[in-house]
Amino acid sequence: MPTNVLHPDTWVDKYADYLFNYAVSRVNNAELAKDLVQETFFAGLKSAPNFKGDAAERTWLIAILKRKVIDHYRKINSKKGKAEVKIDFAADSEEGDWLEKRVADNQDRDGEAFLENEELGDAIYGCIEKLPTKQAQVFKMKTIQGMDTEDICNELGINPSNLWVMIHRARTALMGCLNDNWF
């Protein structure tokens, strides 16, 4: 039985800072993070009738924000790929036109999205391997495995402040690595 109810009138006060910090840690741009949070609130309002109450309000909003961040990177990479097609195949206009249409064809988006996700996943794991061992371990436990802060601290014998410093450093290093090696 669903136990959670949405209260959109309190979202900004309750969740704006949390969502902003989440977004800025992923896109490394404060203005873009603000836009993504605003889009998240709009999308939440739009899809509120579909909210089943199985998740907490904040968890549901974070899920929406995660999709907004992914869509942002897909959009960037889609434009990047299209520009490369135009440059790479300008000499052979017939083939170039065909490839340009294929890049923009929505029927091909599922396959393209799958490849982009797979490439991004490989890039992320490659960057995680470059992190110091303990940072990588903490990052994987918190971000990938979704473990609770208290469980991680108990298992590794660290305090929550140390955990968040390590996660922040790991995210900063990963963003730099991804910018250098993937974007």
Predicted local distance difference test score (pLDDT) of residue 174: 87
Considering the segment(s) 109-183 as one domain, its CATH architecture is Orthogonal Bundle (1.10)
Predicted local distance difference test score (pLDDT) of residue 113: 53
Domain ranges across the chain: 109-183
pTM metric for this prediction = 0.45
What are the residues whose beta carbons fall under 8 Å from the beta carbon of 41, sequence distance 6 or more? 8, 11, 12, 61
> Other C-beta atoms within 10 Å of 153: how many?
17
Please, where are the H alpha helices in 48-148?
57-88, 93-104, 109-129, 133-139
> Other C-beta atoms within 10 Å of 67: how many?
13
Is 48:11 a contact under the CB 8 Å cutoff? no
Q: Along the 183 residues of the chain, how does pLDDT read in single tens digits?
A: 556 788 889 999 999 999 999 888 888 888 999 999 999 999 989 988 888 888 888 888 988 999 898 888 888 776 555 544 444 444 444 444 434 434 444 444 454 555 556 677 777 888 889 999 999 999 888 887 888 888 899 999 999 889 899 989 998 898 888 888 765
Predicted local distance difference test score (pLDDT) of residue 28: 86
- Which structure tokens are listed for 70? 């992914």
Is 53:5 a contact under the CB 8 Å cutoff? yes
Is 170:131 a contact under the CB 8 Å cutoff? yes
Predicted local distance difference test score (pLDDT) of residue 124: 82
